[in-house]
Amino acid sequence: MIKCILMDIEGTTTSKDYVFQTLFPFAKTHYKNYINEHLTNPHIQEILKGVASTVLTEENKIISFEEKCDYLLHWMEADRKQIDLKKLQGIIWQAGYEKGLLKSHLYEDVPRMLKQWQQKNIKLGIYSSGSVLAQKLIFQYSTYGDLTPFLSNYFDTVVGHKRDPNSYKQIEKELNIPAPNILFLSDTPEETQAASLANFKVGLIDREKISHDAPGITTYKSFSTLDLDSI
């Protein structure tokens, strides 16, 4: 029996085009001005310290302020899952959403299925490489209105990377729900395989009709095609 459904965002609840063609370019355009205008903000100071620490650890190099900004740009262009970068992107997107410059895309079946699943007393959560703040913003400022009341848990790479089975074991502990009662939905085969190795139930979401190689994992075209009783 499924007691919790955990969802990826990009390609699963939200189109990749929105992430890559709207959110990422918005952060890339505004990140340097935002940093300069908020240098005294403790969150920005902590992010810049984190960037410096990462570079020192990986390259044994002490970097200047300008170099920190250059590294952030490079990581954005490479779509690196670096935690300080993800925090910064979330903060910038929050400013954009609050100013009405951003409105997030969700697939049309998402709000409907969230409502149906919640009515069945299923706990709903998100596990994405984007920061928890960025996750909440997508559902708060969607074209369907504020959907955050449907979601009770958010996880990002603080718990671990999404292709590592140990990350799902940590989530199982935090949810306090046995792994076989948790369903993880993602459009990435490697993520569903990692969750499966942690004994989660899994479903590969293939909205864009891509031929995935995920042996033993059932593929679904949308949330609407999921039959929870057969999982």
Which CATH number belongs to the domain containing residue 209 in this structure?
A: 3.40.50.1000
All residues at 6 or more sequence positions from 34 whose CB lies less than 8 Å from its CB, including other chains: 88, 91, 92, 95
Same domain, 56 and 140: no
pLDDT above 80 (res 211): no
Overall domain count for the chain? 2
Final residue of a domain: which of 49, 70, 98? 98
Domain range enclosing 31? 19-98
Supply the pTM of this predicted model: 0.91
- Per DSSP bridges, beta strands 153-155 and 219-220 are unpaired
- Write out pLDDT tens, residues 32-48: 999 999 999 999 999 99
What is the number of alpha carbons within 13 Å of residue 38 lying toward its C-beta? 18
Share of the chain above pLDDT 90, in %: 94
- The per-residue pLDDT for 212 is 66
Same domain, 93 and 107: no
Using an 8 Å Cβ cutoff, are 200 and 162 in contact?
no
Same domain, 226 and 128: yes
Q: How many CB atoms lie within 10 A of CB 226?
A: 21
Identify the CATH number of the domain in which residue 77 sits.
1.10.720
- Kindly indicate the confidence band of residue 204, based on its pLDDT and cuts at 50, 70 and 90: very high
- Write out pLDDT tens, residues 61-106: 999 999 999 999 999 999 999 999 999 999 999 999 999 999 999 9
Final residue of a domain: which of 98, 114, 140? 98
Same domain, 135 and 203: yes
Mean pLDDT across the chain: 95
pLDDT above 90 (res 216): no
Q: Which two tokens stand for residue 216?
A: 């033993």
C-alpha to C-alpha distance for 18 and 186, rounded to whole angstroms: 17
